[in-house]
Chain A
Amino acid sequence: MSNTTQLLRFITAGSVDDGKSTLIGRLLHDSKSIFEDQLSAITKTSERRGGLGSVDLSLLTDGLQAEREQGITIDVAYRYFATPKRKFIIGDTPGHEQYTRNMVTAASTANLAVILIDARKGVLTQTRRHTFIASLVGVPHVVLAVNKMDMVDYSQEKFDAICTEYRAFAAQLGLHDMTCIPMSALNGDMVVERGENLNWYQGSPLLELLENVVIDYDINTTDFRYPVQWVCRPQTQEYHDFRGYMGRIESGVITVGDEITIQPSGRTTKVKEIVTYDGNLQSARAPQSVTLTLTDEIDISRGDMFVKSETMPQVSKEFEAMLCWLSESPLDLNRKYIIKHTTRVVKCSFARLGYRVDVNTLEQHSSSALNMNDIARVAMKVQLPLVFDSYIKNRFTGSFIVIDEATNNTVAAGMIA
C-alpha cells in the first residue's frame, strides 16, 4: 500500500449542532481509526460528566483541558486516518463565529473542504461564511455535506432545494469543483457506506469521493517557482567548490539544462545538476525538496527565487492583497510590520485600507479599521521587492504572513490580488 497511497488534506467546517463530531467520529470509526484506549478514555469522561449513556465523540478531538471543561473547541485539531487508497489529514475547525481565523489557518493547507449543514435548517449565514472563506483561501475542492437527512425523511425534494440554493451562491464565488452529498452521519448513510435510505442519490458516499478526487493538479504545474531556502557550501575536500541552492519546488517542473532567471536580480543561468541525498535527478517537480547547482557563479542568497524564463512572476515593492486579520490588537496604519513571503522577510507598511468584506453577507463596506477576524482589501508597500504571483494563480508565491515586530506574533494572513 505504501507504494501508491496519496496524501489528502481536508477540513471540516460546521458546528457541533450540524453533527460535525458525529461525522468525523463516523469516518474514524468506520475506517477503524479509533482505538480501544481512546474510546475507553472518552467513555469514562462522558460518564463522569453525566452523559446520557452515549459516548460524546467530540471528546476525541477536543484535546485541551479548557476545551473539555467548557465543552467548546478552541483550536484547530489535526486528525489522521488512512484507507488502502489514501492517507488523510483532517483539520477540524470550530464553527463558532469568532473563530474565522482558525478556519483560514486550517484551510490554507487543505485540498478539500467539507462544509456541513443541517438538512432541516438549510443554507445558513454560517454556511455562507464557511464557503466564502474556503473560496478566499483557494481550497480547490468543496463538498457540501447535507447532514441529518434522517430528520427530513430522506427527502430528495428537500435536498434538491438546498443544493439549488447553495449552487447559486457558490457560483458567485467562482468555486470550480463543488459536490453536494446527502447524508446521515448518525445512521452512517453516505459517509463510508451508501446505506439503504438514500437510493435516489446517484453520486458517491463521502469517503469514496475523498479517496478519488483528483488532487494532482491542485499544485500549479506550469510555472516553475523555487525560493532559495539555504545555500549549501560544504567546504570539505571532496566538495571543495560545491555550491548548491537548497529549496522546495513550489510549483512547476525543472530539468537539467533548463535556463532559469534569478529574481529579483533578473540574471539568467542554467541548471547544472539536481542533487538529492538519493542521487542526482534529471528532472524534478513540485513539491520535491532538492538542491540545484548552476552553470555560472552568481551571487545568490536566501530569499531569491529561481523561475523559468518563459513564465515570469511579478517583481514589485507595491501590491494589493486580501488580508485576514488574526490578532486581538487591531491593525495600526501608522506602524511598520514585517512580511514573510516565501523565504523572504521584509518590512512593510499599509498604504491604504480598501473595502472590508462582511463574511456573512459578502457585502463590501468601506473601512477605517481592521479587527480580529476582519477580511479586507489592502494596498501594501514593502521595503525590498517581492517576487510573487497572484494567489489565484499560485497558492505558494501568492501568500504571505504579517508579523508584529514588537510581539513577534503572526497578526495577519495575506493573499495577493
Chain B
Amino acid sequence: MSNQSFTHLDVLESESIHIMREVAAECKNPALLFSGGKDSIVMLRLAEKAFRPARLPFPLVHIDTEHNFPEVIACRDKLASDLGERLIVRSLDDSIKKGTIVLKNADQGRNVFQSVTLLETIAEFEFDACIGGARRDEEKARAKERIFSFRDEFGQWDPKNQRPELWDTYNTRVHAGENIRVFPISNWTEMDIWEYIARENLYIPEIYYAHERDVIRRDNGILPVSHLVQPKSGEKIEKMTVRFRTVGDMTCTCPVESNARNAQEIIEETAITRITERGATRMDDQTSEASMELRKKEGYF
C-alpha cells in the first residue's frame, strides 16, 4: 500500500476532510447544509471521516421547499437519526406565512425562494459559515466560485470581487453579520460522486435508481406526476422506467429514462451520457444562460 499512488478519490476525499476541519477550527458557528440528496449524503460521510470518533462539530440544516420527494425526506431523517446528529429543518412555508416569500401561484417552482428561508435561518441561528455540496462541474458560474465563498450581510455573492484562494490556505475571516459558504466537494464531478457512493456503499434515496413511475411530457422534458404536478388538458400520463440524476423541487426536477438499478450501473451510464446533470434534470436552470449566477448573487447556495 505505502508505495502505491493514491487514487483521485483518495486525494479528493482528503482535500474535503481538510476543508471541513478548517471550517470547524476557524468558524465560530458553522452548519452543514443537508438535504438528503446524493451530494449532501457524500458530504455527511466526509464529515464523519473528518470528525469521528467525536460527534460532528456542527448541526445539519435543511431548507425544506415542501416540494421535495417524500423518499428524499425519509432518507434525510433516517440518516440524521441513525448517526444521532442534530438536524434543524426550516420550511419555506414558514417564510410564506410570515410574508417574506410571496408566491405568484401556489404550485410554482420553489428553488428560487430557498435563498430567503436560508438567510432567515442563518440570521436565526447566527451561523457564520454554511457548508454546502455544490460542485464546480455542475454549472459555469459555479466553475468560478471559490471553495470558501464570501457573502455580504445580504447573502450576496459578488463574482467580480472574490478573494484570491491560494494553495490550501483558506481565508475564513468575516465581520459580524457576514458569512461564508464553504464547498468541500467543489472539485468533485458527478462521476466522482457515484464512484464514491459505490466505494463507500452509501445509502441514498431509492429514486436515484431506476424504477417505474407515472410521468407526463411537458416543455421538452419528462415530469413526475405527483400531488403538485397533474396532467393539463392534452397531456397524458405514461409509465416509464426512470431514475433521477438530481432530486430537487418536484415541480421542476425531471427524471431520465434509465435501467440502472445500482451505483455501478449508474457509473456505466454516466460514462457515456451526452447531457450534463443539470441540463437533463432542472427546468429552472434553463430559463437563461445566467440563471444560476443570478440566483447566487441573491444569496442562493
**Interface residues in chain A, defined as those with a beta carbon under 8 Å from any beta carbon in chain B:** 2-7, 35-38, 41, 45, 60-66, 68, 74-80, 82, 86-87, 89, 101-102, 104-105, 108-109, 216, 229-230, 232-234, 236, 238-239, 242, 244, 246-248, 253, 275-278, 283, 285, 287-289, 302, 326, 338, 340-343, 345, 395-396, 399-401, 403, 408-410, 413
Q: Which residue of B lies closest to A411 (CB)?
A: B164
Give Cα A65 to B296, complex, Å. Answer: 12
Contacts of B18 in A (CB 8 A): 229, 248, 289
Are B166 and A399 neighbours in the complex by a CB distance under 8 Å?
Answer: yes
User: Which stretch of B70-78, B184-192, B208-216 is in the interface?
Assistant: B184-192
Quote the shortest CB–CB distance from B23 to chain A (angstroms): 10
Centre residue among A75, A89, A341, A410 by max chain B CB count within 10 A: A410
Give Cα A96 to B61, complex, Å. Answer: 42
Are B171 and A64 neighbours in the complex by a CB distance under 8 Å?
Answer: no
Are B51 and A109 neighbours in the complex by a CB distance under 8 Å?
Answer: no
Give Cα A288 to B5, complex, Å. Answer: 12
Quote the shortest CB–CB distance from B97 to chain A (angstroms): 34
**Interface residues in chain B, defined as those with a beta carbon under 8 Å from any beta carbon in chain A:** 2, 5-15, 17-18, 21-22, 24-26, 48-55, 136-137, 139-144, 159-160, 162-171, 173-175, 186-187, 189, 191-192, 195, 198-199, 267, 273-276, 279-280, 289-290, 293-294
Give Cα A238 to B49, complex, Å. Answer: 18
Quote the shortest CB–CB distance from A249 to chain B (angstroms): 9
Contacts of A244 in B (CB 8 A): 53
Quick one: given A64-B141, A287-B11, are A408 and B174 in contact (CB under 8 Å)? Answer: yes
Are A35 and B275 neighbours in the complex by a CB distance under 8 Å?
Answer: yes
The DSSP consensus for interface residues of chain A is: mixed
Specify which of B8, B198, B279 is in contact with A7 (CB 8 Å cutoff): B8
Are B171 and A403 neighbours in the complex by a CB distance under 8 Å?
Answer: yes
Are B17 and A289 neighbours in the complex by a CB distance under 8 Å?
Answer: yes
Give Cα A319 to B224, complex, Å. Answer: 63
Contacts of B267 in A (CB 8 A): 2
Known contacts A86-B8, A246-B50, A289-B13; 18 additional CB pairs below 8 A are A2-B267, A6-B8, A35-B275, A65-B289, A65-B290, A68-B290, A74-B159, A77-B144, A87-B8, A230-B24, A236-B53, A248-B18, A253-B2, A277-B48, A283-B2, A288-B14, A289-B49, A289-B50
Give Cα A135 to B283, complex, Å. Answer: 45
Contacts of B159 in A (CB 8 A): 64, 66, 74-75
Are B280 and A37 neighbours in the complex by a CB distance under 8 Å?
Answer: yes
Q: Which residue of A lies closest to B2 (CB)?
A: A283
